[in-house]
Each structure stands twice: as C-alpha cells, then as structure tokens.
Amino acid sequence: MDLKTAFKDRFKIGAAISGVNLRTPAHMKLLLSQYNSFTCENDMKPMYFLDSEANRLQPEKYDREPKLVFDHAIPYLEFAKKNGIAMRGHTLVWHNQTPKWFFYKNYDEFSEPADRDTMIARLDAYIKGVLSFVQDNYPGVIYAWDVVNEAIDDGDFRKSLWTKTIGTDFVMKAFESARRYAAEGVSLFYNDYNTYEDWKRDLIIEKILKPLIEKGLVDGMGMQSHLLMDTPSMEDYKTALYMYGALGIEVQLTELDIHNADPSEESMKALADRYAQLFDIIVKAKDEGAANVTAVTVWNLRDEDSWLTGFRREQSHPLLFEGRCEAKEAYYSVLKTVVDESQIDKWEVDYPKEDYKMQLPDKAGHKRSLINYHMVEVEPGVRLCYEEFGWGDKYIFSAQMGFYPIGLQQALAFNGYHVICITLRGFYPSSYVTEDYGDRWYDVFAEDVIRVADKMKIDKFFYMGASHGAGVGWHLCLNHPERVKGFIACVPGPHSLAEGAMSMRQMVLSGIIKEVPPMDPPIDNDPIREKRRLRRDEHIASNPEPDPREKAIDYGRPLLKYKTEEKLCEMLHTINTPTLILGAIDDPISTPELMIRTAKQLPHCKLAMYSNTGHNIDTDLIEELVFESVHFLTQVDKDGRVYESLRDF
C-alpha cells in the first residue's frame, strides 16, 4: 500500500521537488511510486518566468507586456506530461523572488516606481503569458495554481512593491487576471503560512477570501503548514481548517513539513505521532464534509532535501522519507490513519546504485538565463549585472566572474546582511568588453565595485571575495581604503608573481595546464556536503560554453605591478583594512603556505584554516565560514578590530 493509493478516494497526495530531485532517477521513482501530484519547489516562481535580459534591454518594447521565458519550468512540465502525474503551479504573484526591476519605469530599479496602470497591465500580461504557455503546451497538466502567495503580514496586507505600485487590491487584480485566463477545471488558490494563527486566519478570511468568493474569483485556500513539534496545537489547526472549509471552497495543505532537529528514535516516534494527529484531523474533516480537502503536499521528498535545514540553521528531519528513499515511521503513521495496519506493507527500496547519481543536463543548445539580476550602467556601453540578497544597511559587496546559487554570500544574507554580488565586466550577463586592460584588470574591477556602490548611494561597506574575487578585494583595499570597512578574503592568494602573470583560468583555456588539479578532497559519510557538491556540479554543467569574448580575456593575477615577492609582501604590509582570511588545507591553488605568508604581512588580520576541504570552501563549509565571518563582521563594526579588546582577568 502506497500513499497515493491509500488516499485516492479522498484527496491528491503530493510532494515538492527540486532540480536535483528531478535529475536523480531514484528520487523520481519514489515520487511516482508514492505520490500522484507534485509541486516545483522553486523553478516556477516569478523570477524564473520574467526575462531579465530582454525586458531591461528593450523596455519600450516590453513595457506593458513583459517578455517571459520558460526554460526552468519546461523540464518539470515535460516530466509530468510524460508520466501522467498532476502538478500544482507555484506561484504566480509573490513579494519574494520577484525581481525588483519589474516594478520600475523602463524596468530600471534606479528609476521611479512604475505607475499603477502600467503595473496592472504588466501583472495581467504576465499571468496571461504564464497560463497560456502552460495550457497551450501542457493542457491538463496543472490542476491548481497558487495565484497569490503570502500577502498578509503583521496585522494587515504585507507592505511590498506590489502594494507600493498598485495598492492592496493587487490581490484582487491578480485573481481577476487568473480567472480570465485559467482553463476550465483549473483551481485558483490563495496561499499563506501560519494560517492557523487566529489574527491571520480571520484577516485572510475577511480581507482576502470573502471578497474573492463574492466575485467568484477564488476556488481554494492553501494552508502551507510548516509546523513545529509543539506549534500549533492540533486544536488550533483544526479550528482554522474548519473555518476555511465553512467558506465552501477547497482547502489544500500546500507545503507540509514538521521541523524536528532530533533524529533519535524517540523523537522520530513523536514526529510520527504528530503526523498521525494531523492526518486524523484532515481525514475526519474531509469525511464529515467539514472541509473539502482536495490535496496534501509535503514540502520535499526526503529529509536531506528539506529547505528547513538551511532556514532553521540546523539539520532538520521533517518528512516521511530519508536517505536512500527509505520510509520513516512517520510514513507508516500517515498510512494508518486511513488503512488497516494489516494492509500496510513494508516499503522496501531496491533501486540500482546508479539511480542515486544526479544526471547532469546536456549543455547542447543551452542558453544561460538571467534570473534576478539588476543592471546598472557604470560607463557608456558598459553595464554591470548584480544580484541582491537580504536587505538593510549592513552592506557586503562581492565581485566575481559568476556566483553559485548557494554559497557564503547568500548565507551571509540569511544572517542579516545586505549582500550585493556583482558579475565582473567582460563576463555574461555583464557587458562584454574588447579592450585589453593589460595589468590594470583588477584595478578596473575594483573601480566597478565603487561605481555600483556610488549608484546605490552606499558609502562604506564590507567586501567579500573568493579566489579571483578576493583579488578584486586586494585592489579595493589599496585604492579605496576609506570605503572598505573590512575584507573577508576566501582562498585569496595573492600568488607569487614568480609563478607568472597569467591567470589559472587562462592557463587552462590556452592548454598550458592540461589537467586541472582536484580542487576539493574526497569526502565520505557527509550527505549535506555531497549534496552541495552535486548542486555545484549541476550549476557548472548547466552553463553553456562561454562566449569567445569571455574566453579571450586574461585578467592575469592581482597586484601585477609588484613584480617581485619582496615588493608584493611590502605592499601587503601597507593594507590596514581589517581582514579575515579563510583558507583550506587541501587547496592546490591558494595553498596553506601562501595563506600563512599573506597573513604574516597584514597588520590587522585573522587567519582561519580548515582541513578536509579545498578551493571551493565557500560552497562546501558554508556554516563554518558564516560563523567566522559574522563574528569578524560584528567585531569590526563594533570597534574596527579583528579581535575583541583584551581585558585584565
């Protein structure tokens, strides 16, 4: 007996999946064996549909009808169509993961916000474009859409760029458009978290659901249901479920998980009991007609896939399956709410070992897509793209050829910092350049950081860079010490110029280096780091061959004008910027010896070295580096020192 069979007469049962899941055969076998519905975890959120490059390069053409792209959504839609499994669409309108430029005149976030009429037109055209593409090319695949996500916060409508440009009726406008273009039989949902809290529940019912119901625009309420082991009480959850059900619309649990950081047998038994209590309530509400529950979706397939580990900053064990697709006790407790124990078989997995290896996408014909980049012109003909993570006035800048989706920069944003990640000039999606700056490349890169900061009206900031990105940091500290409060230098060199002036990248591209040394040591029995390395490999593999103009660039090595090791060390000794060096014992590029040499020269430096990791430490040991970085940032902000003032004990 599987989940989809057990609940087939009551409601759909589904799971959220990521790109890693989609490309891992064992995970998809688990999905098809147990579930009859799935949700795309991230790749169908607004930022993945809006064509950043086309809209901002041709704003007059797309001003009221934004150009859309579907590269990220298509693999999920194809899988659903091929395998006959239903999909929930998530999500059309959200304050988060919608690019800032979308809300501004000429799609330029340094301009004024677009007027209400323009934004209503953009909203309508965007929803029409997404629904039309899906329904024309994949008819019947998506059975429900989360039209608006998380519009309520802090006792009222959430303050966002949607409310700033349109007003609180953006919710009504979104549902009007969705109803206008949705195919018959496709259900439209409002979706939110903590929907069991009495103030939020009542506000959603009165301010959102009832007005939409009155106009026939909404079909269902999405209760995300990210629960804790002790919150909410099951009585509060039941009350909310029944109140939504009493409105006569569908109810779906859209993102169910129960955070639990304790993997002990006793704790996992408690998790199973809590799932059983929840499903007892859901099933009873359905059977008695108190709430028309039409689907329950758990948020991810396995514990190892859960977003909660990153969000809660501790390993979470919140789901029904784990590891090599093995069922947990919670799986059986859910089944027992509708099936006699005698009918439940032990879930046994015999997938081949190779099915657990992620299949990397084919580069052929693949185009790099811009997702949530901002663009700023720093000089005539040169536009730089940057990504923005976090908010507030605790700024960290970073500048590199490109950035992985999850690394130290993004993690620092989760810890309260406003992180600006600039793609260097000459590298997509920033402007290509044909000028060869000779030994001034890193000076130009550093000036570009200052230009972006000036455009954003940011005076002083921290800088964080890895590898060549750290090279930019050395030049910033030398050329603009008054702007840089502190420098987080990850595997930063700088290399001895006795090794030559050519960059490692160019030596590989030109064939001087035939085989790149292993950047990271092998790891065993560390599934989180293995998952991170898989995602990093997937990201690299998904990028097409670089443009010839990129390949032609040899930015060399930082600090080229210091021709000898002696002069290089003398220069390092003049840098007074507080610096944290993060190094790796097994790094073949920025070797431990190099890191120690650099640290010895800097007057205000802390050096942290980690074993069993290599040159990609910033995506490998994220938590450790965040710990060191936040301590450093806090201390420098406090009194400009890399360590706390000493006390006489």
What is the per-residue pLDDT across 101-146, written as a single tens digit (0 to 9) for each?
999 999 988 889 999 999 999 999 999 999 999 999 999 999 999 9
pLDDT at 324: 93
Q: What is the mean pLDDT of residues 3-8?
A: 97
pLDDT for residue 370 is more than 60: no
565-572 vs 592-601: helix crossing angle, rounded to 10: 50
* Residues 207/212/213/215 CA torsion (nearest 10 deg): 130
Kindly report, residue by residue over 30-58, the tens digit of the pLDDT. 999 999 999 999 999 999 999 988 998 89
pLDDT for residue 167 is more than 50: yes
Compute CA distances 332 → 277, 285, 321, whole Å.
13, 21, 10
Q: What percent of the chain has pLDDT over 70?
A: 93
Helix, strand, or coil (residue 220): strand
Return all residues near 487 (Cβ < 8 A) that are at least 6 apart. 462, 463, 464, 473, 476, 477, 577, 578, 579, 580
Number of CB atoms found within 10 A of residue 262's CB: 15
pLDDT for residue 4 is more than 70: yes
Q: What is the mean pLDDT of residues 148-162?
A: 96
Average pLDDT of every residue of the chain? 91
| β 86-94/142-149 pair status | parallel
Please report which helix (H) or strand (E) contains residue 449, including its range.
helix 441-455
Using an 8 Å Cβ cutoff, are 461 and 552 in contact?
A: no
Report the predicted TM-score, pTM, of the whole model to 2 decimal places.
Answer: 0.76
In this prediction, residue 642 has a pLDDT band, given cuts at 50, 70 and 90, of confident
pLDDT for residue 329 is more than 50: yes
Residue type, 39: T
Buried b (16+ CB within 10 A) or exposed e, 461-473: bbbbbbbbbbbbb
Using an 8 Å Cβ cutoff, are 267 and 260 in contact?
A: yes
Using an 8 Å Cβ cutoff, are 298 and 15 in contact?
A: yes
265-287 vs 234-245: helix crossing angle, rounded to 10: 30
Question: How many Å from the N-terminal Cα to the C-terminal Cα in the chain?
Answer: 66
CA angle, 489 as apex, 488 and 494 as ends, to 5°?
155
Using an 8 Å Cβ cutoff, are 196 and 226 in contact?
A: no
pLDDT for residue 371 is more than 60: no
In this prediction, residue 478 has a pLDDT band, given cuts at 50, 70 and 90, of very high
pLDDT for residue 313 is more than 60: yes
Q: What is the mean pLDDT of residues 345-355?
A: 93
The span from the CA of 593 to the CA of 398, in Å, is 25
pLDDT for residue 89 is more than 90: yes
pLDDT at 362: 57
The span from the CA of 337 to the CA of 7, in Å, is 10
Domains of the chain: 3-47+76-96+140-351 (3.20.20.80), 376-494+561-638 (3.40.50.1820)
User: What are the start-end ranges of the E strands in 349-432?
Assistant: 374-379, 382-389, 395-400, 418-423
In this prediction, residue 364 has a pLDDT band, given cuts at 50, 70 and 90, of very low
pLDDT at 527: 76
pLDDT at 479: 96
Q: What is the mean pLDDT of residues 199-217?
A: 98
Surface-to-core class of residue 177, CB atoms within 10 Å of its CB (0-12 exposed, 13-18 middle, 19+ buried): buried
φ, ψ of residue 520 in degrees (nearest 5)? -135, 145
pLDDT at 162: 98
pLDDT at 532: 78
| β 395-400/461-466 pair status | parallel
pLDDT at 406: 79
Kindly report, residue by residue over 494-542, the tens digit of the pLDDT. 987 666 655 666 556 566 555 667 778 887 777 777 777 877 777 777 6
Using an 8 Å Cβ cutoff, are 116 and 64 in contact?
A: no
pLDDT for residue 333 is more than 60: yes
The first and second tokens of residue 576, run together, are: 């007074």
What letter would DSSP give residue 71? Answer: T
Kindly report, residue by residue over 612-624, the tens digit of the pLDDT. 899 999 988 888 8
Active site residues: 150, 255
pLDDT for residue 485 is more than 70: yes
Q: What is the mean pLDDT of residues 443-469?
A: 95
Between 9-13, 116-120, 458-462, 560-564, the lowest mean confidence (pLDDT) is in: 560-564
Q: What is the mean pLDDT of residues 323-337?
A: 97
pLDDT for residue 647 is more than 60: no
The first and second tokens of residue 598, run together, are: 């650099």
How crowded is the C-beta side of 586, counted as CA atoms within 13 Å?
14
In this prediction, residue 363 has a pLDDT band, given cuts at 50, 70 and 90, of very low
Return all residues near 285 (Cβ < 8 A) that are at least 6 apart. 238, 241, 242, 245, 291, 293
Q: What percent of the chain has pLDDT over 90?
A: 71
pLDDT at 165: 98
Residue type, 198: D
pLDDT at 593: 93
Using an 8 Å Cβ cutoff, are 371 and 543 in contact?
A: no
Kindly report, residue by residue over 240-287, the tens digit of the pLDDT. 999 999 999 999 999 999 999 999 999 999 999 999 999 999 999 999
| β 326-327/321-322 pair status | antiparallel
Q: What is the mean pLDDT of residues 233-239?
A: 98
Please report which helix (H) or strand (E) contains residue 582, including its range.
strand 579-584
pLDDT at 620: 87
Please report which helix (H) or strand (E) contains residue 292, including its range.
strand 292-298
